[in-house]
Amino acid sequence: MPDYNQLWEQIRSAFENDSSMSKASYNAWVAVASPVSLKNKILTIKVPSSLHKDYWEKHLAEKFIEYAYQFADTDITPAFVIKDPNAPDPDKAQQAAEKKEEDDTQLNSRYTFDTFVTGSGNQMAHAAALAVSEDPGTLYNPLFFYGGVGLGKTHLMHAIGHQILKNNPDTRVKYVTSETFTNDFINSLQKNRQDEFHSKYRNVDLLLVDDVQFFADKEATQEEFFHTFEALYNAEKQIVLTSDRIPNEIPKLQERLVSRFKWGLSVDITPPNLETRIAILREKAIADNVDIPDETLTFIADQVDSNIRELEGAMARIQAYATLQNATITTELAGEALRSLSFGSNLAHVSIALIQSKVADYFHVTVSDLKGKKRVKSIVTPRQIAMYLARDLTDNSLPQIGTEFGGKDHTTVIHAYEKVKDDLENDEDLQRQIGDLKSELKA
């Protein structure tokens, strides 16, 4: 196996000599990439932006694998990491300190209260997070954040960790996703190291567990988490949890965990309104040190109303586009960038209204039927399918979907989603119908 620099050099030069790739394209995508490491047959490549990462994954990865096979004589998988071109170069001491913090606690140094923009959708969650940071372990324990994807649950959870560490640097903070907790637990069983596992999770002052909905169905992990929870709670250690839904709606979550999750405070985060989205973009422009007119920020915030991760993605794309074009950012350029650089799925722009109209046509019912209350099967099934698609293809929260379906409760939406998802396993007619509808929605 060649070393990673050598292998990359061969691949890079193959791209350079590839007649199907223009010089401009080579310069834009390949020349700006550099190798980082080669481990377990994964060649990690550093690229300047998420735009580059998307492009590599969608358009160049296949060729990369072909070339790599020619030179290394084995399958090599590419992995892309983004180097932040605007990141300030902190001095070494600070870098080392941040690194240590991230190593020990797994906290992302960007996710602090300072960088968190508040608006009506997250005000309560923000206030609760601040309160817990000032008085951990007693006030709201556990603190439970729930809400749709990319709305800042993880960010707030990390902010609590940073703040508590700032107030008391000796605090032992641990952040994990529920998946990491599960994997750690399984490993400890396999290696007969349960004591080590217990001391890792029970000797902390603040435990942050992200995305606990993934505990659904995992009985043994739930059992273990229950004991971790009890140990920490009884010792008045703060626990913060996040999930995409409220505890009662996490399928197959033990009743005693559901009730414990509700002991403290549960707060939801809902999607940001236009003003908050603009404020978030403005903060980001300041942090990245780029000059963007207010009118352009409003334009971007208007285009992306789903979630904050998407909003940040759009902004990164526009910045990368401006860099590639060597142009300043204007509304016109932002519009171009969002149009020509939308590599994402073409389902990204699907709205609930569009889904309702396509589903109504497909099943020969009306949109009012879908939004209404009639319980006949010929309407109930299309209604549930439309709710399923709304949950699957859009970033709207459950309550929002409920509202769009004539003011239904979000539990009705969850029920519809779960039912269609279960039926899809075996029902071929349903699989075909959903397939047809998705292709229509893509068109």
- Binding-site residue positions for ATP: 150, 152-154
What is the distance between the alpha carbons of residues 342 and 321, in angstroms, rounded to a whole number? 11
Minimum CB distance to ligand ATP, residue 381 (Å): 29
Binding footprint of ligand ATP on the chain (CB under 6 A): 111, 115-117, 122, 149-155, 211, 244, 280, 308-309, 312
Minimum CB distance to ligand ATP, residue 120 (Å): 11
What is the distance between the alpha carbons of residues 284 and 281, in angstroms, rounded to a whole number? 5
Nearer to ligand ATP, 267 or 365 (CB): 267
The full 3-state SS of the chain, as one line of letters, equals CCCHHHHHHHHHHHHHCCCCCCHHHHHHHHCCCEEEEEECCEEEEEECCHHHHHHHHHHHHHHHHHHHHHHHCCCCEEEEEECCCCCCCCCHHHHHHHHHHHHHHCCCCCCCCCCCCCCCCCHHHHHHHHHHHHCCCCCCCCEEEEECCCCCHHHHHHHHHHHHHHHCCCCCEEEEEHHHHHHHHHHHHHCCCHHHHHHHHHCCCEEEEECHHHHCCCHHHHHHHHHHHHHHHHCCCEEEEEECCCHHHCCCCCHHHHHHHCCCEEEEECCCCHHHHHHHHHHHHHHHCCCCCHHHHHHHHHHCCCCHHHHHHHHHHHHHHHHHHCCCCCHHHHHHHHHHCCCCCCCCCCCHHHHHHHHHHHHCCCHHHHHCCCCCHHHHHHHHHHHHHHHHHCCCCHHHHHHHCCCCCHHHHHHHHHHHHHHHCCCHHHHHHHHHHHHHHHC
Pair 437, 389: CB distance under 8 Å: yes
Q: Which residues are annotated as a binding site?
A: 150, 152-154
CA 14 to chain CA mean position, Å? 35
Nearer to ligand ATP, 149 or 231 (CB): 149
Nearer to ligand ATP, 154 or 163 (CB): 154
Query: How many CB atoms are located within 10 Å of the residue 255 CB?
Result: 8
Nearer to ligand ATP, 213 or 411 (CB): 213
Nearer to ligand ATP, 171 or 270 (CB): 270
Minimum CB distance to ligand ATP, residue 244 (Å): 6
Minimum CB distance to ligand ATP, residue 346 (Å): 21
Minimum CB distance to ligand ATP, residue 191 (Å): 29
Minimum CB distance to ligand ATP, residue 242 (Å): 6
Nearer to ligand ATP, 211 or 224 (CB): 211
Q: Which residue is nearest to ligand ATP (CB)?
A: 152
Nearer to ligand ATP, 111 or 201 (CB): 111
Nearer to ligand ATP, 72 or 280 (CB): 280
Beta bridge pairs of residue 44? 37, 79
Nearer to ligand ATP, 148 or 382 (CB): 148
Q: Say which residue the tokens 């999930």 belong to.
A: 243
Minimum CB distance to ligand ATP, residue 289 (Å): 17
Nearer to ligand ATP, 208 or 370 (CB): 208
Minimum CB distance to ligand ATP, residue 234 (Å): 28
Q: Which residues contact 421 (CB under 8 A, 6 or more apart)?
A: 388
Minimum CB distance to ligand ATP, residue 21 (Å): 33
Minimum CB distance to ligand ATP, residue 44 (Å): 22
What is the distance between the alpha carbons of residues 113 and 373, in angstroms, rounded to a whole number? 44
